[in-house]
Amino acid sequence: MLRPRIIPCLLVHKNGLVKTVNFKNPKYVGDPINAVRIFNEKEVDELMVLDIDATSNHNEPDYKMIGHLASECRMPLCYGGGIKTSEQAERIFSLGVEKVALSSIAIEKPQLISEIANIVGNQSVVIVIDVKKHAFTGKYEIRTHNGLMSTGLNPFEFAEKMEKLGAGEIVINSIDNDGVMKGYDLSLVERMKKLVNVPLTVLGGAGSLEDIGELIKLHGTLGAAAGSLFVFKGKFKAVLINYPTRDERDRLVKDNLLANIM
């Protein structure tokens, strides 16, 4: 059986490491290279880095920054932001990145998923779906460009389409829960997990290891990603790069996977 992955997600804005709340008001929390070095020491399962400026500002990926991150990173690295062509994706892979994450371009140019998958394999193509729940109808909708652009698209139908096109992983990211640190949107996860057959990673809302444990307990083997949890510490949110020890992760996974099976 595959083991659940616990994944720090780092947001890059103006070349700095930031954290948002509901995709708004990015707060500077440090240098991304320094964060990668600390996560190396903590032997994280995997690292996701998303440049939140690139797509919104219509910029190409910052290859210099990506190269620096990849050269420092000693764990599997997923990068997203500004990728619009298979040539750009190939260049990023050549820098040492294991996965590329696509978001709005997957809506604008869905054939790109198949193009990249045919070059490097499905396992290296990740689709990030940013989802917002309508306050009145309760329906989920995909948003793009840092949550500012409404698409009217159903995230569940879209995820199925992406899988058919060759995506090897789906990341479901709750805009409503982003940075709030009060737990994942478990109903969103439940609905998505029933539909997709590729690995699913969940992002948005984790405030404690217990939140990750609950996610694993209810939904088994998947990716549990978090931002604030791994860059803040304590109720006053002091900036401190942190991550559970190997023993803590083993206990967390073992206890909750057993509960899921039973």
What does the chain come to in residues? Answer: 262
Q: What are phi and psi of 242, to 5 degrees?
A: -145, 165
185 vs 133: CA distance, rounded Å: 10
- Residue 105: strand, helix, or coil: helix
Is 217 in contact with 260 (CB distance < 8 Å)?
Answer: yes
Is 242 in contact with 26 (CB distance < 8 Å)?
Answer: no
Instruction: Say how many C-beta atoms besides its own lie within 10 A of residue 2's C-beta.
Output: 8
- Residue 150: strand, helix, or coil: strand
Looking only at the bridges linking them, the beta strands covering 169-174 and 125-133 are parallel
**Helix (H) or strand (E) segment spanning residue 106:** helix 104-108
Place of tokens 């750009």: 88
| Nearest CA-CA partner of 121 in 87, 154, 166, 83 | 166
| Nearest CA-CA partner of 76 in 51, 102, 44 | 44
Is 12 in contact with 65 (CB distance < 8 Å)?
Answer: yes
Residue positions annotated with a catalytic role = 130
165 vs 175: CA distance, rounded Å: 25
Instruction: Say how many C-beta atoms besides its own lie within 10 A of residue 25's C-beta.
Output: 10
